[in-house]
Amino acid sequence: MNESSFRDTALEQQLQTALDEGHAVWVVGDVHAHHLTMQALVERLELGHDDWVVFLGDLIDRGPNAFAVVETVMQHPTMVSVKGNHESMMVEHFHKSVIDSPTMDVRLWYRNGGAETVFAYEQAHLDEHGKEDEDAMYARVAQHTEWMASLPSHLVLDRWRLVHAGYDPEHDLDSQSEDDYLWIRDAFHRASQPVDAQRTVVFGHTPTAGLPGFSSADWGRVWHSHVRLADGRPAAIGIDTCVYHLHSGPSVLTAFNLQNGDTVTQERVEPRSR
């Protein structure tokens, strides 16, 4: 399928216009349902009226309040997101018939943070007596999953590509699958040549401590590819600094400004997750 099938060209034009006019376009790594941390980070960005925030997917799962994260991004006029693999799993699996009779795939999603997401939606739909309003919950889930299904899988600007996981370096840019955009890891991380000679890829999905050249000593650090574009910029920048991990070392959420290369990090506000 042509790569344009997975893009939102109108949104790309809005973001590029903002950059051309000198406004900030902040790109934020995987939030994973840490709403309080996301709020604290966004406050520190001191957004102007025409500034944007682009999330790199995986808004949900693992953390305590997926519902609030999705509501916030959906309702904010200058917050947008690309699709992550966790959004893809929620779209496929968060339906009453599936939840009531879970398959192995649903159980896999549960083990990878889906259980926390379902719980957050249940808690957001309790009535005044503390009883779950299941009909209201599934109506809201349907709205949210419809929005998630419509998200672009990547965004292409003049000097940047914004994507959740990356690109397959063995295929040209017009022959990528959505699975590549949402799931790829090592082949992209270890590419010896830029996947796009003109654009730096900013991506999430893989915690940066696990990227080439990094180790457990690098929790919380932004990763820059050693492969360079002709203009000297890194071919790829990884910004999933892993807000949810339980290891020693910083657990932070990161924002990267496409306008000037500034980076802002926010340590996790929520108590330690599982």
The answer, yes or no, to whether residue 96 has pLDDT greater than 70, is: yes
pLDDT at position 5: 78
Report pTM.
0.97
* Residue labelled with tokens 């506000």: 269
State yes or no: pLDDT of 91 exceeds 70: yes
Give the percent of the chain with pLDDT over 70: 98
Q: At what angle do helices 66-75 and 134-150 cross, to 10 degrees?
A: 60
Q: Mean pLDDT for the chain?
A: 96
Q: Which domains does the chain have, with CATH numbers?
A: 3-84+153-267 (3.60.21.10)
* Two structure tokens written together for 198: 């003109």
Q: Helix, strand, or coil here: 155?
A: strand
Q: What is the pLDDT of residues 133-150, one digit of tens each?
A: 999 999 999 999 999 999
Residue 4: CB atoms within 10 Å: 10
What phi and psi, each to the nearest 5 degrees, are found at residue 151? -65, 145
Instruction: Single out the residue of 172, 216, 217, 208 nearest to residue 189, CA to CA.
Output: 208
